[in-house]
Structure 1
Amino acid sequence: MDNNVRISSSSTDNMLYLAIIVGLIGISLAACPAKWQHHGSSCYLLSTDELDWTTAREYDGGYLAELETKDESDYIETFAKQIDFWLGGRDEVEGHWKWVTSGKNFTYTDWHPGEPNDLNHDEDCLHLYGPHGYQWNDFRCSALQNYICEAGKLSVIFYLHFIKNISSSYYLRKSIKSTSSFLIGGSLAACPAKWLHHGSSCYYISTDELDWSTARDICQEYEGGYLAEVETKDESDYLETVTLTTHRGFWLGGKDEVEGHWKWMTSGKDFTYTDWSPNEPNDLNHNEDCLHLFQARSQHWNDIDCSIKQNYICETR
Structure 2
Amino acid sequence: MLHFFQLFLVGLIFQLTQAQYYHLNKNKMNYNDAVKYCNSKEIRLVKITDSQTNAAVFELASKNGMGTYWMNGNDIAIEGTWVDTENKPLVYKNWYKGEPNNWGGNQNCLVAAYHPNEMWFDIGCNTLNSVICEIVIENYHTNKNKMTYNDAVKYCNDRNMGLVKIPNSEVNVNVYNLALKHNLGTYWMNGNDIAIGGTWVNTENKPLVYKNWYTGEPNNWGGNQNCLVAAYHPNEMWFDIGCDTLNSVICYNANDKKISCKD
With normalisation by structure 2, the TM-score equals 0.50
Q: Give the deviation of 1:299 after TM superposition.
A: 3.0
**Do residues 178 (structure 1) and 118 (structure 2) align?**
no
Q: Give the deviation of 1:176 after TM superposition.
A: 1.8
Spell out the pairing of 1:256-271 with structure 2 (5 A cutoff).
256-257=193-194, 258-266=196-204, 268-271=205-208
Q: Which residue of 2 aligns with 1:60?
A: 63
- The 3-state SS of whatever aligns with 2:208 is coil
CA distance in 1, matches of 2:215, 2:103: 61
**Do residues 202 (structure 1) and 139 (structure 2) align?**
yes
CA distance in 1, matches of 2:209, 2:142: 24
CA distance in 1, matches of 2:55, 2:213: 28
Q: Give the deviation of 1:298 after TM superposition.
A: 2.4
Spell out the pairing of 1:138-287 with structure 2 (5 A cutoff).
155=93, 157=95, 159=100, 161=102, 173-178=107-112, 198=135, 202-222=139-159, 224-244=160-180, 246-257=183-194, 258-266=196-204, 268-287=205-224
Q: CA RMSD in A?
A: 4.2
CA distance in 1, matches of 2:55, 2:210: 26
Which amino acid counterpart does residue 170 of structure 2 have in structure 1? D
Aligned-pair identity in percent equals 16
- The 3-state SS of whatever aligns with 1:262 is coil
Q: Can you give the 5+ residue segments of structure 1 that lack an aligned partner in the other structure?
A: 1-30, 46-56, 63-152, 164-170, 183-196
Which amino acid counterpart does residue 207 of structure 1 have in structure 2? K
CA 238–201 in structure 1, closer or farther in 2 if over 3 Å, else same = same
Q: Which residue of 2 aligns with 1:304?
A: 241
CA distance in 2, matches of 1:278, 1:229: 21
CA distance in 2, matches of 1:294, 1:177: 38
Spell out the pairing of 1:4-43 with structure 2 (5 A cutoff).
32-33=22-23, 40-41=49-50, 42=53
Q: If you compute each CA radius of gyration, which structure gives the higher value, 1 or 2?
A: 1
CA distance in 1, matches of 2:155, 2:49: 25
- The 3-state SS of whatever aligns with 1:235 is helix
Question: Quick check: 2:143–2:184 contact (8 Å CA) kept in 1?
Answer: no
CA distance in 2, matches of 1:271, 1:44: 38
Q: Can you give the 5+ residue segments of structure 2 that lack an aligned partner in the other structure?
A: 1-20, 25-42, 66-90, 114-119, 123-133, 255-263
CA 39–286 in structure 1, closer or farther in 2 if over 3 Å, else same = farther
CA 172–250 in structure 1, closer or farther in 2 if over 3 Å, else same = same
CA distance in 1, matches of 2:221, 2:240: 8
- The 3-state SS of whatever aligns with 1:204 is strand
